[in-house]
Structures are given as C-alpha cells and as structure tokens.
Amino acid sequence: MIMLKSVRLINPATRTDEICDILIAEQKVIKIGEALALDARLIARAKGEVLRVLDCSGLCAAPGLVDGHVHFRDPGQTHKEEIATGAGAAAAGGFTSVVCMANTIPTIDNEETIVSVIRKGRMTPIHVYCCAAVTKGLQGKELVDMKLMKECGAVGFTDDGRPLLGEELVKEAMSRARRLKLPLSFHEEDPRFVKDPGVNSGPAAERLGLTGADRRAEIEMVERDCRLAGETGATVVIQHISAAESVEIVRKAKRAGVRVFAEATPHHFSLTEEAVSLYGSNAKMNPPLRTEADRGAIIEGLKDGTIEMIATDHAPHAKNEKDRPFREAPSGIIGLETAFSLGLMNLVEPGHLTLLQLISRMSTEPAKLYGLDAGVIREDAPADLILFDTERRWAYLAPKSKSTNSPWLGKSLKGKILLTLCGGRVAHEDTQTLAPRWLPTGTRMKPDELLTND
C-alpha cells in the first residue's frame, strides 16, 4: 500500500493538472484526492498491506508512458537486446507499456513466435505487447494469417524496417485489418529514392561522400497510404515521420476524415542531419534526420495534433556493429531511457507543448490507438504510473539497455524519472533520490487521520 502525498498529478485523459494525494493498493489506484485520509473502507481494501508514504512535494505523477514502437531483438539478435533488458530500459525511462515490432529472426508472422514473445514479456516488470508482421517473412508478397495473429495477441500489424510496395497487397491488408479493428503501421521509404540509407540527401551526405535518402522516398508513400486508408476505411499509422511534406499530407488527410495517425521520434524532433557530423553512425537511422525546417514541421505537427504520438523506435545495435564505417553500420539508435527528457527539454521548455500535452503524446494517445488499458490514472484502474522531477538534471552514462548506440550517451539531460509503478509494483526506482522522502518503514497514520475526508 503506497500513498503518494502532495504530488502534482498530470493526467491528460481527465485534463487534470493539480496537487493531490494518490493511494495505491491491490495493484490499483484506489483513491485520488486532496489531503487524502484513510477511512475504514480503504484500510479494508488494503488487506493488511503495509502502508508506505512518500513525500512527493515538488514532484509530478503521470500515467505510465506507452511506446508504440520498439525493437527488443528477441528472438534472433539477443546480442543487441533481449526482452528482459529492453523492458528494464523501458521502466527506467518511465514506460509501463511497449509495443514490439515484428522484424525479429524468425519474423513474428506465426503462432509459435508471437506466443513466445508475449510469454517472455509477461516475465518482465512492465507490459510488453506485440505487433505481427503484415507479410510472411517481411517479404511483401503474401499476407500473414491476420485473424490468427490477432487471436494470438497481436495488437497491430507492421512490416516496420521494410516498406510495403505493392498497392493491391496494401489495399487487401488494410481491408483485413479494418475488419479485425486493428491498426496497420507503415515504414514509409520507397527504395527507388534511397541510394544510401540512414542519412538525408543533402550537405551532410555529401560530406560523407554519399547520395543519401531523398525525402521523396517518404513523401510519395505517405501520400499513397493516406489515399488508400481513405478508400478502405482502415486505421493506419505513419511511423517515425521525418519530412515536412509528410506532416502536411497527414494533416490534410485527417481533415478529410481519414483514420490516419502519425508518430514522431525524439531524435527527429531534437536533431537535424548535421548530427551525423557530430555523432557518426549514432545519428544514422531510417528514415534519416533531415533539415531544421523538417524538425520544425514535426514540432508543429505535435502542437496541433496532426502527430498524436511520440514513439522511440528504440533500435539497439552492438557497439562493434555501429563502429563500422558509416555506409556499413546499421541504422537506428536506442531511445527508451532518454525520450522523456528530450520531450521535456525540446518541446515543453521552449513552449511548444504543455506538460499535459507531452504526457498525452507519450501515454494517453498511443494507449488509445492500440486499445490498451493504460494512459490514464483513475480510481479502480491499474496503478501504472510514473513519478518524475522536471528540474532534476542527470547524466546518461550507464544504459539499462544492452546497447549504447545513442547520441546522448554521456550527455547531461533534464527531467528525471524517479519511480515507475506497473500494476502497483515497483518496476524502477531511483532509490538514492527517493530514500529520504519515504516515511520510516512501519509508520502508521495518526488516529485522527483515519477519518475520511469525503
């Protein structure tokens, strides 16, 4: 039984931003209120649990973050990441729910593999969900048994890492997904316009002696998939949007009533193509970092709701892989442990988003899209929540992830996740910071505090 005293509650689903107390027992939030007291009913519900009281003055609580786009590399590439280590990184970053992509080895396109991933996820301290592939083996030729994949636990479908090129195949996939009421997520890069993946076509690529990836690779496919979504009525997600034109296409499609959603990564709203000169292959990703104008357009999209979700595209790689020459190094960076800080520093502090809006983009909206019981703090709901300090600076020195491929490694960041509760259980705790704030073990409320304030 945990009482969070005098905490600033940031709760987008109820538009709440206020100081209150939160009482947690039986893995649920059982009471939210101002100067909360314990009455006989609440004590009875705790079933003899020891009461722990945390002084949260100056701290914020919010729903556990939800990441709709992660790669945990399990099965097949566990030298980069495992479900257990990925979940540990997620918890440290404040995420209580994540959705794994299907491009594992073997691909998550069959019952055995998806059941194995979900089973391993249940052994972690957070909720690990899974998308199934759209096509068998990510080959873009034959659709998976989408109905079976949903029955096995898939919360969506994606061939992320590879674009779907055949228009008729895409239309059929959209039609099936619509009937199953699950989203389809698209990696939008037409290979015809990608000469050298991972870097934008422009000055940064030229300095590396490369042609790079032209923005048309994304724009044309976003345009196609928004059109097809309108024709089929499917729910589609434009993954890791990177170009200003793509943002505008999605904006217009939404105005026309198309069920299109979009996600932005922290690296795309924080960095530009110039980062490859500073960080080398740790700034290489697909789609690539683009121009300052593109970064600004992504921020505008997050501001006006064109882009509803922030997703990390957490993509771990072994150090020896990233240490190869730029052209040979794999694309992708890790992001679970730094995402909240980057959102705070690059979106909230400059005034682009409020803290309420940031939490909505990182929790409430992705939970709604995937139909997860998450993204809100309410009485009798699962106690999936985070406690954080917006002012606390910290150094990103020792990732919980198995990999270290991040441009922010060794950097000082602002906004620290201090406590992650998932199902009322501690998934992550900054014990050094919180230890002085816990009342001594065994402390009981005073007799006069056992009266209800109802």
Active-site residues, by number, are: 313
The structure tokens 């389809």 sit at: 184
Asked if residues 104 and 82 have their Cβ atoms less than 8 Å apart, the reply is: no
d(CA 406, CA 93): 14
Q: Give the closest residue to 69 by CA, choosing from 89, 97, 92.
A: 97
Q: Give the closest residue to 162 by CA, choosing from 133, 145, 138.
A: 138
Asked if residues 341 and 418 have their Cβ atoms less than 8 Å apart, the reply is: no
Q: Which two tokens stand for residue 186?
A: 């698209």
Pairing of strands 184-186, 157-158: parallel
Q: Which two tokens stand for residue 146?
A: 């989408």
- Give the 3-state secondary structure percentages of the chain, helix then strand then coil, rounded to 5: 35, 20, 45
Phi-psi region of 263 (alpha: psi -120 to 50; beta: other; left: phi over 0): beta
Helix axes 244-255, 292-304, angle to 10 degrees: 20
The secondary structure of residue 213, as a DSSP letter, is B
